Amino acid sequence: MSEFSSAGLIVRLNDRKVADTLHQIHSSLEQRGMQVLLDHSTRGLIGGPLTVGIEEIGQRCDVAIVIGGDGTLLHAARELVDYGVPLVGVNRGRLGFLVDVSPDGELAALDEILAGNYLAEERYLLDIRVCRAGGDIHRAYAFNDIVLRIRDMLRIVEFETYINASFVNTQRADGIIVSTPSGSTAYSLSNGGPIVNPSLDAIVLQPICPHTLSSRPLVVDADSEIEIRIVDKNIDNGQLISDGQIYMDVRTEDTIRVCRKAERIRLLHPSDYNYFQILRAKLNWG
């Protein structure tokens, strides 16, 4: 008997390019006798069934199938991490570091996963709080990274970094990226950061275009508590971005506190999944 009796389907919002794949997977799941819940993101792409909020998928489903690109999976991971629902990513995007089931080949890899033939992997998320005048004004999670920058213009911001309450340095840079291993192949990589294997419990602190040649990426234990304090004077248009999708306003004297979230997200990969093969394919290595 399969361990999966119910599945939720989540897609990239308002993207008709995923409609055919959505229909194909929906029909396949029903033929397997599974209960299928459609997220609100599928509305208008498939006729008939009612759609539900993603929290209901978290409460009622054994697995969530995400159809789209990495950005779609990032959103689903943040929303479902507290429910313990495993995710399967079907790649209908471009790069696809996280969504590794191809829609080609009649989705044979998805059938194998649902039959119990898969590799399971746990990834952690960042828990972010923005503090002002002693209280939290913003709270968010990040699967890939957070980015501190100045909104709507290119200018340097000055900030202090603390690790476990110990002062590390003061930097002047275009901003800073705080990344999980999952996010090390995203914005951090394009900014010259290291590739960190997802099996490592580490956090990458990557300054963006720092105004000194001695500034380098810093990799710390994932149990570390990180504080970034904006010390630049008269900054009222700072911005903190989670996974490129959640935008939070910050300003002078705000403190950004980052730690690892206790709950992890579980990803289900095809049984032949190989992280280094993914790197070779996506980064055009020889």
Q: Which residues are catalytic?
A: 70
Q: How far is 98 from 74, CA to CA, in rounded Å? A: 9
Is residue 90 a contact partner of residue 107, using CB atoms and an 8 Å limit? yes
Is residue 207 a contact partner of residue 171, using CB atoms and an 8 Å limit? yes
All residues at 6 or more sequence positions from 159 whose CB lies less than 8 Å from its CB, including other chains: 148, 170, 171, 173, 176, 228, 229, 230, 231, 232
Q: Please, what sign has the CA dihedral across residues 274, 98, 263, 53?
A: negative
- At 7, is the secondary structure helix, strand, or coil? strand
Q: Residue 101 corresponds to which tokens in the numbers above?
A: 């089931």
> What b/e readout covers 249-278, taking b as 16+ CB neighbours within 10 angstroms?
ebeeebbbbbbbbeeebbbbbbeebeeeeb
Angle at 105 (CA atoms; ends 99, 111), nearest 5 degrees:
70
Alpha carbon separation from 77 to 4, 121, 171, 234 (Å, rounded): 19, 13, 32, 36
- What phi, psi does 193 have (nearest 5°)? -80, 170
Is residue 26 a contact partner of residue 8, using CB atoms and an 8 Å limit? no
